[in-house]
Structure 1
Amino acid sequence: MTNPNLATGSIWRLHHNDQEIALLTVTGTDMPWTHAEVDALSGFDEFRPLFREQQRGLGEEDWERADACYTHIRSALTMTFPDGGPVAEFMLHIHDDGTAAWRWHDEPFDVVSP
C-alpha cells in the first residue's frame, strides 16, 4: 500500500511558530528522500540564507557547518503532513532553484549524549 503522504501533488507545510511559511508539493520520492517544489510564503525569506548556508556546507563537505544549520532549522521550524499532523523529525534541504528534499520519521530521533 502506498503512503498517501508521498503521493505526487500532496502538500506538506513548513511552519515558523504558528505561521505557515512554505508549501512543499511532492514531485516524487527516492527513498528515503521525498522531493518537492517549494511555494515560499510570507516569513520564508528570513530562513532562505540559512538553507543556502546549509547547502554550501554540504557542497564543501563542511559537516560541522551543515550540522549547525540543521540544528538551527529544526529548532526554528516545524513541518506538517498533508493531513495536518505534525512531523516528529525531519532533515530538510531547500535549494535555490525552488525545490526541496527531505527525510522524515514519525518519531523523534534518539539523541545520544556524550
Structure 2
Amino acid sequence: MTHPNENPPVGDVWRLHHGDREVVRLTVTGFDMPWMYAAVEELPGFEPFRPLFAEQERALDDPDDPDGLDADRLDACDARIRAALTMTYPDGTPVPEFFLRVHGDGAAGRRWHHDPFGTDAPGEGSR
C-alpha cells in the first residue's frame, strides 16, 4: 500500500513497536506541517525508552547552545530511537522513516516519510 506524505485523519492510530511488541499508540490530534501531533498511550514495554525521549527533549532545549538545541545530540537520539523502535501506519504496514518526539505531557510530535532516509545524513530535515 502506498502512503503519501499527507495529513491522515484526526483520530487515526499509529503504533510504535519494540521488536514485535507494541509499546505506544499515537492517536492523531492535529497538524502543523510538516509535523503531525498525537496523544500518547504508553503501553507495557515503553518504560525503558522514556529516558531516551527525555534526553531528546533536553537536546531540543539546550541552554548552552546559541540556537537553543544541541544538533549532534538530537541526531544521535533520533538515530537511537529509529534503531530501537519501529512505527506502523494505521493499517499495520511499516513506516520506513520517522522522527518522533514523545513529550513528558502525554503528547507527541512526529514526521514520517514513505521512503527510507539516505544513509549519509540520518538527521537531515530533523529540525
TM-score bracket for the superposition, by shorter chain length: over 0.9
Unaligned 5+ runs, structure 2: 63-68, 122-127
Q: 2:40 maps to what in 1? A: 38
**Structure (1 or 2) with the greater helix fraction:** 1
Give the fraction of aligned pairs with identical amino acids, expressed as a percent.
56
Would you say 1:76 and 2:84 are equivalent positions? Answer: yes
CA distance in 2, matches of 1:78, 1:24: 13
Which residue is equivalent to 1:9? Answer: 11
1:9-39 Cα offsets, whole Å, 9 max, x none, are 1000000000000000000111111100000
For residue 53 of structure 1, what is the aligned residue in structure 2? Answer: 55
- The structure that is strand-richer by fraction is 1
Q: Aligned partner of 1:76: which letter?
A: A
Normalising by structure 1, we get a TM-score of 0.92
1:29 aligns to what? Answer: 31
Contact 1:57 1:65 in 2 (8 A): yes
Partner of 1:90: 98
1:70-103, Cα deviation, whole Å (9 max, x unpaired) = 1110100000000111000000000000000000
- Asked whether 1:65 is paired with 2:67, we answer no
> Does structure 2 retain, via aligned residues, the 8 Å contact 1:15–1:78?
yes
Q: Which runs of 4+ in 1 moved over 4 A?
A: none
**Partner residue in 1 for 2:118:** 110
Structure 1 unaligned residues grouped into runs of 5+:
none
The amino acid of 1:94's aligned partner reads V
Cα deviation, residue 5, structure 1: 6.7
Tell me how far apart the structure 2 counterparts of residues 21 and 43 of structure 1 sit (CA, whole Å): 5
Q: Could you state the TM-score of these two structures normalised by the residue count of structure 2?
A: 0.83
